Structures are given as C-alpha cells and as structure tokens.
C-alpha cells in the first residue's frame, strides 16, 4: 500500500489515511498487522512518529513529526488546532448543535468534551444528513460518541450506531465503512508561528455511496 502524501517538510509529514488502516498496533491488537506507522517509516524513514490518532475506520489527514522536540511541539500545537470532520449520520439534523458532554477516557476518567455539529444537507428519504463536526477537545471516539449522544449516530458505526441500519446502507448504497472523514486540520506551525492547513479530499469509498444516496433521493 502507498499512502498519499498531503504535505511534508523537515519536521512534519501529513498523510491521507484510508479507512480500515490502524495508525499503530497496540496491546489490544490481537494480531500484528500493517499500520500507518509501518508504511510511513518504510517509505520515509524510521524517525517519523504520529502526533495524534485516527480510529481504524476513519479516513483523512494524519500528521507525523520527526525528532523528539518536533514531536512534542506538534503534539502541543494540536491541542489548539482547528479540527473538522465530515460524517454521514442517521436522521435529519436541521440545525447546528453545540455538544458539551463529558466522556470517559480509556482509564474510565470523566473528561470534558465539546463539539459543534453542523448540517451541510439533510434528506427525508433515506433519512440521513451530511454534517461537518468541529471538535474542541480530543477525546477517544469523540465525534462518534457526540453524534450518538444527540441521536444522530454515524452510519457504519458498529459501536455506537445501529447494526440493522448499517447493513441496509451497505446493501442499498455500498457504504461498507465508517462514514467519518478527518477533512481539515489547521495548526499553528510551532517552528514558524504561522497557521498551516492540511485538507484531505473525501475518498471514493465514502464519496461514491454518498452520491448513490443523493441519487436515490432525487438530488
């Protein structure tokens, strides 16, 4: 597998991660498998490390940095970054909603979590909406959990969605993945102090099912 490169300089490298690819193996990974870390290091050298994570099912912009100082600096910069995700959700979300709903982290500690979910378009049949989500905190599965919290779970989500509905969208429209895409990151470069924006185009395995859904709705 060759990972598309969105941007690169001496300190930072940004790839376009496909859905289905782990960022790295962990103690919870049952079998060792190909990862974004392994692919990046084989292509560009062993010094690169990811400075944030995306879920296996999420596609989009993923940042790597090189060297301890750069890694720490970019991790710190990402805490203040503007992060936008696109996702297809169940139901008709007709107005933007601000979600301030704390989430348990992986150790069971309750953490503040804030997001804004804004509809781009909504369809009555099939009942779904394409939304853009801005996250203001970086909690595990935040977009998925906040969308489910407001009763608009991300389609294709086996953890927080509805299995029967996911199977319906797979059969009718070919949506065979989590309908969540990390579209845009705007980060202040810690070396230069200037904002940098990294944008990932919506991949075909999400764009094509969405096109079929809109066609079925007569749009």
- How far apart are the C-alpha atoms of 89 and 180, rounded to whole Å? 9
Instruction: Spell out the SS3 assignment of the chain.
Output: CCCCEEEECCCEEEEEECCCCECCCCCCCCCCCCEHHHHHHHHHCCCEEECCCCCCCCEEEEEEEECHHHHHHHHHHHCCCEEEEEEEEECCCCCCEEEECCEECCCCCEECCEEEEEEEEEEECCEEEEEEEEECCCCCCHHHHHHHHCCCCECCCCCCCCHHHHHHHHHHHCCCCCCEEEEEEEEECCCCCCEEEEECCCCHHHHHHHHHHHHHCCC
98: annotated active-site residue: no
Q: Of 7, 16, 46, 55, which residue is the catalytic one?
A: 55
Q: Show which residues are catalytic.
A: 55
């Amino acid at each position: 597998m060759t990972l598309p490169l969105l941007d690169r300089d001496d300190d930072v490298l940004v790839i376009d991660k496909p859905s289905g690819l782990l960022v790295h193996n962990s103690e919870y990974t049952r079998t060792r498998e190909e990862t974004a870390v392994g692919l990046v290091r084989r292509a560009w050298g062993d010094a690169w490390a990811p400075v944030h994570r995306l879920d296996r099912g999420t596609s989009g912009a993923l940042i790597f940095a090189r060297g301890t100082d750069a890694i720490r600096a970019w991790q710190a910069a990402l805490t203040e970054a503007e992060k936008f995700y696109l996702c297809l959700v169940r139901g008709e979300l007709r107005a933007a909603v601000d979600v301030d709903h704390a989430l348990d982290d992986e150790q069971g500690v309750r953490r503040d979590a804030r997001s804004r979910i804004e509809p781009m378009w909504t369809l009555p049949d099939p009942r779904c909406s394409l939304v853009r989500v801005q996250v203001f905190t970086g909690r595990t599965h935040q977009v998925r959990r906040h969308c489910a919290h407001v009763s608009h779970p991300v389609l294709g989500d086996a953890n927080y969605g509805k299995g029967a509905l996911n199977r319906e969208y797979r059969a009718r429209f070919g949506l065979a993945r989590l309908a969540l895409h990390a579209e845009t990151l705007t980060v202040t470069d810690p070396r230069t102090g200037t904002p940098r924006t990294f944008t990932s185009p919506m991949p075909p395995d999400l764009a094509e099912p969405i096109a079929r859904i809109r066609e079925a709705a007569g749009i």
